[in-house]
A = this chain, B = another copy of it.
Amino acid sequence: MKDKTVAWSTRELADLAGTTVNAVRHYHAIGLLDSPERCVNGYKQYRVQHLVRLLQVRRLVEIGVPLAQLRVDEKAGVVVMGELNDLEARVEAEIERLRRARSDIASIRHGRAPADTPRGFESLASNLSEIDRALVHVMTRLGGGGPVESLARMLAAEPPELREAFSSLGADASEGLRGHLASRMIAAGPNWRSAEWLRSTHPSGGTPSRDRAARRAMTEVLRELYNPAQLDVLDRVESGEAHELEEELSA
């Protein structure tokens, strides 16, 4: 019979294995660690077998194996019930997700943009009104996370004084003012505040019903964010652009 001169308490075992007493107790609760003998006062007396088992479990946890995939076999010890293949794929996917997050955070910090700025607009966001930012949020999302660069380019190309003029246009702006602003916006290039972008970037990004819902939502959002005069200007810009396109084609 072996001597049993040395035994470890829960804390000692946890320290030796570089983990916590709560983790040890948790592994007992889910059956990954056998109950050790008790001292007269009820204290647990862990031995080498428990330390080895605990180290095996901890190592598997370290590489990301879910505890639910572990079984204990009397002779084989701890057995993993899943494929390392799948585990590696999950870890890989998670790394990719976090890499994107880190890159986005860095861009947001670098561009001094609001924390919720969508990807691709970090350097532009600080120049936008809250309303325009809200529209960008909606557009990028309704675009299905698709090509966001064309929208960013249009935004970057918009002259600041023109953006300011549009943003501050009163709901009761005169016919002349509206017409003038519309002409300036047509001359300045393509209009980004338009559901047109949705049609171009994802002609059929999802199911037809999803597309329809997205376009209807876009129209609703424009109607909510801008006042009647601004909406009128946007209408004129859109039909004006269409008119220009026609002229170009017939030329």
Residues of A within 8 A of B (CB): 2, 6, 8, 12, 15-18, 47-49, 51-52, 55-57, 59-60, 62-65, 77-78, 80, 84-85, 87-88, 91-92, 94-95, 98-99, 101-102, 104-106, 108-109, 115-118, 130, 134, 137-138, 141-142, 145, 210, 213-214, 216-217, 220-221, 223-225
B95 x A16 contact (CB < 8 A):
no
Which of A49, A101, A115, A142 lies at the interface centre, i.e. has the most chain B CB atoms within 10 A of its CB?
A115
8 Å CB contact of A214 from B16, B65, B85: B16
A224 touches B47 (CB 8 A): yes
Give which listed residue, B15, B87, B225, contacts A105 with CB less than 8 A. B87
With A88-B105, A106-B88, A138-B51 known as contacts, the answer to whether A59 contacts B16 (CB < 8 A) is: no
A116-B78 in contact given A16-B141, A95-B98 (Cβ < 8 Å): yes
- B63 and A101 contacting across the interface, CB-CB below 8 Å: yes
Shortest A210–chain B CB gap in Å is 7
The 5 closest A-B pairs by CB, nearest first: A48-B224, A56-B116, A59-B116, A52-B134, A55-B137
Q: Quick check: A130 and B77 within 8 Å, CB to CB?
A: yes
Give the CA-CA distance A95 to B59 in the complex, in Å: 18
A138 touches B94 (CB 8 A): no
Q: How many subunits of this chain does the assembly comprise?
A: 2
Minimum distance in angstroms from A100 CB to a CB of chain B: 8
Given the complex of chains A and B, what is the CA–CA distance between A91 and B95 in angstroms? 10
Contact status A48-B220, CB under 8 Å: yes
* CB-defined contacts of A220 to chain B, threshold 8 Å: 6, 48
Q: Give the chain B neighbours of A64 by CB distance below 8 A.
A: 98, 101, 105
Task: Choose from B57, B94, B115, B210 the contact partner of A65 (Cβ within 8 Å).
Answer: B115
Q: Is the CB of B60 within 8 A of A116?
A: yes
Contact between A118 and B59, CB atoms less than 8 A apart? yes
A18 touching B141, Cβ below 8 Å: yes
Chain B residues with CB below 8 A from A130, complex form: 77
Give, as a whole number of angstroms, the nearest-CB distance from A232 to chain B.
16
Chain B residues closer than 8 Å to A48, beta-carbon distance: 220-221, 224-225
Residues of chain B within 8 A (CB-CB) of A213 are 12, 15-16
In whole angstroms, what is the CA distance A213 to B6 when docked?
Answer: 11
A109 to B88, CA, bound (A): 10
Contacts of A91 in B (CB 8 A): 98, 101-102, 105
